[in-house]
A and B are shown apart, each in its own frame.
Chain A
Amino acid sequence: MTQNILSARSICVLLIVLPFFVAGLCYFTRISKIRFMLVLITGCLLIAGALALIFLTPFGFSLEPIFGVRVNVMVEALDFFLLTIILYFGFKHRSWVIKALALFQLIFLAYFEFFLVKDGISSTTFFCDHLSLLMLLVINLVGSLICFQAIAYMKNHETHLQLATSRQHRFFCVMMLFLGAMNGLVLCNDMGFFYFFFELTTLCSFLLIAHDGTESAIKNAIRALWMNSLGGAAFIIGLIFVYASAGVLELQQILISGKMENGLYLLAVALLCFAAFTKSAQFPFQSWLLGAMVAPTPVSALLHSSTMVKIGVYLVLRLAPAMNGTFLSHCVAVFGGFAFLSAAALAVGQSNGKKVLAYSTISNLGLIFACAGLNSPQAIIAGMLLIVFHAIIKALLFLCVGTIEQHIASRDIENMRGLYTDMPLTALITVMGVIMMIMPPFGVLLSKWMAIEAAARNLYVVIMIALGSALTVMYWARWAGTLMSDPFAGRFKLERQPLLTWGALGVLCLVAGITSVAAPWLYAWMAVPALNVGYPAPFAVNRGILENTTGAFAVFPLSMVAILGFVVAILAVKKAAGARVVAPYLSGVQTRTPGVFKGPMNRLVKAEARNYYLAAIFGEPRLTTWINLGAGVLLTLIVGGTL
């Protein structure tokens, strides 16, 4: 047993310290080949480390002093250092909001560390249960794959920008730092550490968004920094209140302190939820995530899938037992449902592919928040599974769009019309991603099914989820169809892409498929042990079927049938390749060129159709103000309702 803890501890240290160390190396390595090898090896080690923890979870430990200095003290010092850096950026970019928020946090952090907390030694500084493990797997697997693809992407990116000197050393340094911070965040049990890693991710995302150094990049990075600093400020105040009401600083003890009648305690939890909402770019803070797409695509992929935005949902899922049965929990559910519906509506009005992806991220995160707020075992499980499946598939889709964008120099869905002719494999993988996003028996839909059944007795939430999922189908199906929209005869020439790109896309696609088919076992081995005490397992697993008294989802049998159907359909395609290919019907005299018919006076007329984006109903100018207003009201209710 002791040996297990020892090896678990060394793996944890590896997961947190190695990325930091490699980040430093990346910064000082100016030879790109060596840096790439470094990133590759680190990525593989991180994946191996996370996988190894499967056999060791759960465990907890604390750290011995290094060179006679307590680790807590070091982290405290780093905390102040970090805030000073943020303050520096506030001065550099002349943003009074950032300055004010950084000063605010510095003052309260000083109060917290020097005056409030008398005995700062926590018995278990780090704790890893199955929820942390799920997060670790997502962060390291998906994050590393994104870094691999970034190697190929950034080379193209810099060639395209025609930079005199490469800035990739900075880029990979921050990417690695980010992964380290994420690993630290999900592993730590001491809230002081949590706060440090929380702020570190804020700083990393700022640096990554600003990476290209253009005017819009800087502008959006500043917006991301101040919005997330607002979250940081809410976090530190929440922390002070937690300590004042519950008297502990360890996450696991906060959860079992059971002070739900204490108003201050609930206010603290509400403030932590508020911090989570800013991190996860929920309305009205969505603009930082939308602005973040000015950064190179791997950054968006990282922010949207395995890191940054997942911190918020992780935190609220963690805190769910601390607010079980309260009005606060109910409000969080409604807030999440509202975000799910509104973001889906906004996504329908977008023709910009990356914006569709961004709104879909916000939408899915909203659903996870709704699950956390519903706070039944089934809902919590749905939230956890959604984190996993969404991370994998969203990373895949972002990398696909990045690859497409580098090829066609556009991210507009209209310009991806008939992309299949040009980039058959990328287009097919994108379509696969879309299918896994909206169709059973794949994981995202499995989680959504669980969420709806869990929400069925909560009228407001379930109505919003029902409307939102219909909108979701609309914007995804439209995109998938557009990619394939071209007269096509069945013979395709594979496009050329770097090996790393194919590798990342292929592995992500494969992992998404395999985890979907294996979802019942993922549920039984990972998600159920991740539930807190007092949350019984909501389903029985029988031959790959998830079942309880209220519902059943035959994941494995349906997957097998789906594979069979898929094979038959592919055979049909092969057979159809021998069929006569005709030009689409245009209600005029057909010509040999698709899309052109002979009109009056024998003139050639080109027929064109564009997608419906319904901007008059679902456009940003029309909806954003109202949605922000609604979200503001709900947020006020969440924080104010606990007073």
Chain B
Amino acid sequence: MTETAVYILIGLIAGPLLGGSVSGLDRILTARLQSRIGPPLWQPFYDVVKLWGKEKTVVNVWQAFCAYCYVAATSIALVLFFLKSDLLLILFTQAVGAVFLVVGALSSTSPFSQVGAHRELLQILSYEPLLIFVAIGIYLETGSFKIAGLDTWNEPLLMKLPFLFVVLGYALTIKLRKSPFDLSTSHHAHQELVKGLLTDYSGPFLALTEIGHWYEMVLMLGFCSLFWASNWFGMMILILATYFLEVLIDNVSARMNWRWMLGYVWAMGLTLSLVNIIWLYVG
């Protein structure tokens, strides 16, 4: 019982703490890649605190509802992850958050929000099946959808599921809204959609969406960590390497449109998953 409580607490705290730091690191790395110095590591936290202190303005009160639901769902998903729960359940809970974020954006009539929301839906449509494929791959290897099933695994999953790790990489890039998949919104509010999905969230509610995103980020990196769960050192290397690759891809690629995203990601995701899963079956 106390153990469960401790895990719940870890999940709730680790999300914002790790997520904020990672996104601080992200900004520094990106700056260095662009020959800038970049902000301090803690800048994302300063931003959120500053937003939290701003005046509350809404275009529609249900935006507040959606922002809270987003944070609630993503934090529950992360807690479930730390409780070593069912992978599919975690995915579905995470999707609840994503849907509420979209509904909140749709509740504004601004075309920027609306188009951003629809693009976000297309992003969800692109990565959602991929994540399910990854969960199925893990199940086929370990015999369980529960993360707890990995406890007895001595060999990194990466050796058995390399292609599925690539598939997860696609999902991760879309979920983190990195180029070439930053269609619905991105860190830079100077694109054709202004801030897209997040255009009409402001003040404390924008801060909430940021916190929710941190939870999501940690959850996604958590999924990556499952591929080398047998060893702490290997896990750290895998996560850091993956994240560095994400930043690199973000900086060297241009944004594409949703048609390309959907076609490319589904085709690649399906092929790679099939190859890997059939290989598992035969081998």
A residues at B contact (CB < 8 Å):
418, 420, 438-440, 445, 449, 452-453, 456-457, 459, 462-463, 466-467, 469-471, 473-474, 477-478, 480-482, 484-490, 549-554, 558, 561, 565-566, 568-570, 572-573, 575-587, 594-595, 607-609, 611-612
B86 within 8 A of A: yes
Contact A473 B95 (CB under 8 A): yes
Q: Is the Cβ of B194 less than 8 Å from the Cβ of A585? A: yes
- CB distance A584 to B72 under 8 Å? no
Knowing A440-B89, A474-B121, A611-B118, the reply to whether A584 touches B109 (Cβ < 8 A) is yes
Q: Are the C-beta atoms of B68 and A587 separated by less than 8 Å?
A: no
B62 to chain A: closest residue by CB: A484
A595 to B194, CA, bound (A): 16
- Asked whether B30 is an interface residue with its Cβ less than 8 Å from the other chain, the reply is no
Q: Is A452's CB under 8 angstroms from B88's CB?
A: yes
- Besides A459-B274, A558-B76, 9 new A-B residue pairs in contact (Cβ under 8 A), listed by A number: A440-B89, A452-B88, A453-B139, A477-B103, A554-B85, A565-B68, A582-B59, A586-B111, A595-B109
A447 to chain B, nearest CB (A): 12
Q: How far is the CB of A552 from chain B (nearest CB, A)?
A: 5
Return the CB mask of B100-127 against A: 1 if under 8 Å, else 0.
0011011111111111011001101100
B72 pairs with A569, CB closer than 8 A: yes
Q: Given the interface contacts A466-B133, A549-B144, A552-B85, does A481 sit within 8 Å of B139 by beta carbon?
A: no
A438 to B97 alpha-carbon distance, docked (Å): 12
A586–B110 touching, CB < 8 Å: yes
Are the C-beta atoms of A449 and B139 separated by less than 8 Å?
no
Q: Per-position contact with A for B36-61: 1 when CB-CB < 8 Å, else 0?
A: 00000000000000000001111111
Known: A449-B92, A480-B103, A481-B117. A609 touches B111 (CB 8 A): yes
Contact pick for B107, options A449, A481, A580, CB 8 Å: A481
A561 to B109, alpha carbons, bound, how many Å? 31
Do B62 and A573 touch across chains, with their CB atoms under 8 A apart?
Answer: yes
Q: Contacts A440-B92, A440-B96, A612-B118; is A487 near B59 (CB within 8 Å)?
A: yes
Q: In the assembled complex, how far is the CB of residue A540 from the closest CB belonging to chain B, in whole angstroms?
A: 14
What is the distance, in angstroms, from A452's C-beta to the closest C-beta of chain B? 6
B85 cross-chain contacts in A, Cβ below 8 A: 552, 554
Residues of B within 8 A of A467 (CB): 129, 266
Verify if B69 is at the interface (C-beta below 8 Å from A): yes
B140-A456 in contact (CB<8A): yes
Q: Is the CB of B102 within 8 A of A445?
A: no
Nearest 7 CB-CB pairings of A with B: A481-B106, A584-B110, A576-B64, A579-B56, A609-B114, A565-B72, A609-B111
Most chain-A Cβ atoms within 10 A of its Cβ — which of B57, B80, B106? B106
Interface pair B62/A478, CB less than 8 Å apart:
no
Is there an interface contact between A580 and B56, defined as CB atoms closer than 8 Å? yes
Contact A561 B61 (CB under 8 A): no
Check B143 for interface membership: any CB of A closer than 8 A: yes
Whether A484 and B96, one on each chain, are in contact in the complex, defined by CB atoms closer than 8 angstroms, is no
The complex places the Cα of A585 from the Cα of B194 at a distance, in Å, of 10
Contacts A439-B96, A473-B124, A485-B109 given; does A581 touch B59 at CB 8 Å: yes
What are 10 contact pairs spanning A and B, CB under 8 A? A459-B274, A477-B103, A477-B121, A485-B107, A485-B108, A552-B89, A554-B85, A568-B68, A582-B59, A612-B121
> Which residues of A are found within 8 Å of B58, using beta-carbon distances?
576, 579-582
B132 within 8 A of A: yes
Contacts of A462 in B (CB 8 A): 132, 136
Q: Which of A478, A488, A566 contacts B60 (CB 8 A)?
A: A488
For chain B, give the interface size range: 35 or more
Chain B, range 129-187, C-beta contacts under 8 Å to A:
129, 132-133, 136, 139-140, 143-146
Q: A470-B125, A584-B113, A585-B199 are in contact. Are A456 and B139 (CB under 8 A)?
A: yes
Of all chain B residues, which has the CB nearest A552?
B86
Query: When the two chains form their complex, are residues A609 and B61 in contact, meaning their CB atoms are under 8 A apart?
Result: no
What residues of B have a CB within 8 angstroms of the CB of A608 in the complex? 111
Residues of A within 8 A of B277 (CB): 459
Given A462-B136, A579-B57, verify A573-B65 contact (CB < 8 Å). Answer: yes
Residue contact B109 to A594, C-beta cutoff 8 Å: yes
A590, B92: Cα distance in complex, Å: 39
A470 contacts B128, C-beta separation under 8 Å: yes
Q: A550-B143, A579-B58 are in contact. Are A572 and B111 (CB under 8 A)?
A: no
Q: Does residue B99 face the partner (Cβ distance < 8 Å to A)?
A: yes
- Beyond A453-B88, A607-B111, is A487–B139 a contact (Cβ under 8 Å)? no
Residues of A within 8 A of B121 (CB): 473-474, 477-478, 612
A151 to B: closest C-beta gap in Å: 33
* Contact call B124/A474, Cβ cutoff below 8 A: yes
Q: Is B270 an interface residue (CB 8 A)?
A: yes
Q: Which residues of B contact A551 (CB under 8 A)?
A: 86, 88-89, 144-146
CB neighbours (8 Å) of B242 from chain A are none
Contacts of B93 in A (CB 8 A): 440, 558
Residues of A within 8 A of B281 (CB): 459
**B59→A587 contact, CB < 8 A:** no
Q: Which residues of A contact B92 (CB under 8 A)?
A: 439-440, 445, 449
Instruction: Report how far A252 CA is from B264 CA in the complex, Å.
Output: 50
- Complex formed: what's the CA distance from A643 to B107 in Å? 56
Cα separation A436 to B97 with both chains bound (whole Å) = 14
Q: Which of A438, A463, A581 meets B57, CB within 8 Å?
A: A581
With beta carbons under 8 angstroms apart, the residue of B64, B129, B143 that contacts A466 is: B129
**Chain B residues whose CB sits within 8 angstroms of the CB of A573 once the complex forms:** 61-62, 64-65
Interface presence of B216 (CB below 8 A): no
Chain A residues, CB < 8 A from B113: 584-585
Of listed B76, B132, B270, residue having the most chain A CB within 10 A: B132
> Is A456 touching B136 in the complex (CB atoms < 8 A)?
yes
CA distance A612 to B114 in the complex (A): 9
Query: Which interface residue of A572, A607, A608 has the most chain B CB atoms within 10 A?
Result: A572
Q: Does B250 contact A (CB under 8 A)?
A: no
